[in-house]
């Protein structure tokens, strides 16, 4: 189905509302598949797909879908390894584009080889750089956990749980890598802890000397006999060394590597030289790179066959997110019947009006509950200003567009004939004069060109020309539409005149029934079939009569009598 004039704006607003509810970019592609169509079979197929899909949206699923993110495996050139190959393998190895390639041994943290000069590999990406597969999965564990739970909730299963179990193998390595990032802080903390322990020991230390020993101590001090001095503090020195060994043991256990950092002869307070920290960092990184490579290699061998299924699991999650968003959008809606003979709905609710009054309306053949109402392809909608006539045209446009997308419509029940074209001409409140009239008339005539199944919705054409001319023009336009079998709903204040001109048309009316206690208009937005709507100006004049005094009131009373 093709949209013309202002119908495109309403379609755009519907799409924007749906997009606003979809939280995964990948789910938007499913919305693109719901383009407007006129084929009855395809509309029904989409309805069946959505009905089945909605049944999969269980409580709690939305919160899980919110967690899922795409898992992207990016190709990178890794500078921490070299791949040593035969001369005739160089070109193939370089085509991988994953690391340095050489035919001779080089000094790298990781040395891989197809010729026995390092860790044996084949010229395959997951052999040379298994981390490029494993690390994105590790970083997206929340997505994997959500996919696992989604699979259980829907009963469709997922490979995410199996992948998560394999990833547990690198958890100790990843924890150590975190420690490497905070190595300076970790060493500083142990350094502070060590010095506090030494300080406590110094406070408790006592040195008792006899007179003779004191003379010898002073003599050694004068002569600079360090060995003799240290011998007298040997007990304390041993205690300090014990504290140093304890600090290094704690570090070694946390880092998984021997960490002999603290100087034994530097006095108090003890400080670790920065070069020792850097040397430890380099040793740790080198060891952990090797561990991570080897464990990633083992993991990828097990999970590589699962990755295509994982991709499908993510795509399924995106599809479920689309279904969730559509179900949320269409809460309380109904799938319309796809029929021949017009468009109608019962208790339709405008999509973009808060707490709208439900309205029932139809053009074409009458169906339940409209039995006995005049059937007509051409309708003239009359009645109160601000009574909801334009909103009714918008609602009809919304119902027709959603039906042709295969989506539910905002009504208790509805029926829609597959159409070839939908025209909606809004009233242009800022357009007046000959130019505006000519433009509008050309648009209406264009809508009447050709043949096929069309619904044409027109909002107050007479507003841009003289009433006398408008009756003649509108009447002839509607005759042409009737002859061609098009459906037309036109909003007009010329109901009496057009009713005389067009006996085949049904004239309906929306009425303002009176004024409330605050003198606000009471409007029933449900059109009365076959009845011209009561004009709002009469009620506005009545309000002015009630709120004015003196001579002004008498003038308003005379005007009001002209309506009655």
C-alpha count within 13 angstroms, C-beta hemisphere, residue 152: 9
- Tell me how crowded residue 112 is: count the other CB atoms within 10 A of its CB: 23
DSSP conformational letter for 360? E
Flag whether 390 is marked binding: yes
Flag whether 389 is marked binding: yes
What are the φ/ψ torsions at residue 83 (nearest 5 degrees)?
-115, 115
Beta strands in 323-474 (DSSP E): 337-338, 342-348, 359-364, 378-383, 413-416, 421-425, 454-459
- Written in H, E and C, the secondary structure of 279-333 is HHHHHHHHHHHHHHHHHHHHHHHHHHHHHHHHHHHHHHHHHHHHHHHHHHHCCCC
Report CA 480 to chain centroid distance, whole Å: 47
Flag whether 388 is marked binding: yes
* Rounded Cα–Cα distance for residues 68 and 423 (Å): 41
8 A C-beta contact, residue 513 and residue 363: no
* Rounded Cα–Cα distance for residues 423 and 407 (Å): 20
* Rounded Cα–Cα distance for residues 487 and 422 (Å): 10
How would you classify the pairing of strands 342-348 and 99-102? unpaired
Flag whether 443 is marked binding: no
What are the φ/ψ torsions at residue 21 (nearest 5 degrees)?
-85, -15
Flag whether 385 is marked binding: yes
Flag whether 384 is marked binding: yes
Flag whether 118 is marked binding: no
Dihedral Cα 89, 90, 91, 94, nearest 10 deg: 120
Residues of the binding site for ATP = 383-390
Residues of the binding site = 383-390
């Amino acid at each position: 189905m093709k949209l013309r004039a202002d119908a495109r704006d309403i379609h755009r607003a519907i799409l924007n509302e749906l997009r606003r509810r979809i939280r995964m970019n990948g789910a938007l592609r499913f919305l693109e598949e719901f383009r407007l169509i006129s084929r009855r079979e395809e509309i029904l197929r989409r309805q069946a797909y959505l009905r089945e899909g909605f049944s999969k949206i269980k409580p709690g699923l939305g919160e899980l879908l919110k967690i899922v993110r795409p898992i992207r495996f990016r190709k990178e050139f890794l500078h921490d390894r070299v791949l040593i190959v035969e001369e005739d393998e160089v070109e193939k190895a370089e085509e991988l584009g994953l690391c340095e390639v050489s035919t001779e041994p080089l000094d790298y943290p990781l040395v891989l080889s197809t010729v026995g000069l390092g860790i044996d590999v084949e010229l395959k990406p997951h052999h040379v750089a298994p981390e490029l597969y494993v690390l994105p999965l590790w970083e997206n564990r929340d997505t994997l956990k959500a996919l696992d739970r989604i699979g259980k909730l829907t009963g469709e299963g997922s490979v995410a749980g199996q992948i998560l179990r394999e990833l547990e193998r690198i958890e100790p390595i990843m924890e150590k890598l975190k420690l490497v990032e905070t190595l300076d802080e970790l060493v500083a903390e142990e350094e502070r802890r060590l010095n506090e322990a030494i300080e406590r020991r110094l406070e408790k230390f006592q040195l008792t000397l006899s007179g003779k020993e004191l003379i010898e101590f002073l003599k050694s001090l004068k002569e600079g006999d360090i060995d003799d001095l240290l011998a007298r503090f040997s007990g304390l020195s041993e205690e300090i060394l014990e504290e140093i060994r304890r600090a290094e043991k704690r570090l070694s256990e946390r880092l998984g590597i021997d960490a002999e950092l603290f100087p034994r002869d530097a006095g108090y307070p003890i400080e670790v030289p920065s070069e020792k920290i850097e040397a430890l960092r380099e040793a740790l990184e080198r060891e952990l790179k090797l561990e991570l490579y080897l464990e990633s290699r083992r993991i990828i061998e097990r999970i590589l066959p699962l990755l295509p299924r994982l991709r499908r699991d993510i795509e399924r999650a995106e599809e479920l997110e689309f279904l969730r968003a559509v179900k949320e959008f269409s809460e309380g809606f109904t799938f319309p019947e796809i029929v021949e003979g017009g468009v109608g709905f019962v208790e339709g609710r405008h999509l973009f009006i808060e707490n709208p009054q439900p309205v029932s309306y139809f053009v074409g053949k009458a169906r339940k509950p409209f039995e006995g109402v005049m059937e007509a392809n051409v309708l003239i909608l009359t009645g109160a200003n601000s009574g909801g006539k334009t909103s009714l045209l918008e609602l009809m446009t919304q119902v027709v567009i959603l039906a042709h997308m295969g989506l539910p419509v905002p009504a208790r029940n509805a029926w829609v004939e597959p159409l070839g074209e939908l025209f909606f001409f809004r009233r242009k409140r800022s357009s007046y004069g000959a130019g505006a009239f000519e433009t509008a008339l050309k648009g209406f005539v264009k809508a009447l060109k050709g043949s096929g199944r069309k619904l044409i919705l027109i909002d107050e054409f007479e507003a841009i020309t003289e009433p006398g001319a408008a009756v003649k023009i509108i009447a002839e336009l509607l005759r042409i539409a009737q002859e061609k079998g098009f459906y037309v709903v036109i909003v007009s204040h010329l109901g009496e005149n057009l009713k005389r001109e067009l006996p085949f048309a049904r004239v309906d009316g929306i009425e303002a029934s009176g004024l409330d206690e605050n003198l606000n208009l009471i409007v029933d937005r449900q059109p009365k079939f076959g009845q011209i709507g009561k004009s709002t100006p009469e009620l506005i004049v009545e309000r002015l009569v009630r709120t004015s005094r003196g001579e002004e009131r008498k003038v308003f009373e005379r005007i009001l009598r002209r309506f009655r």
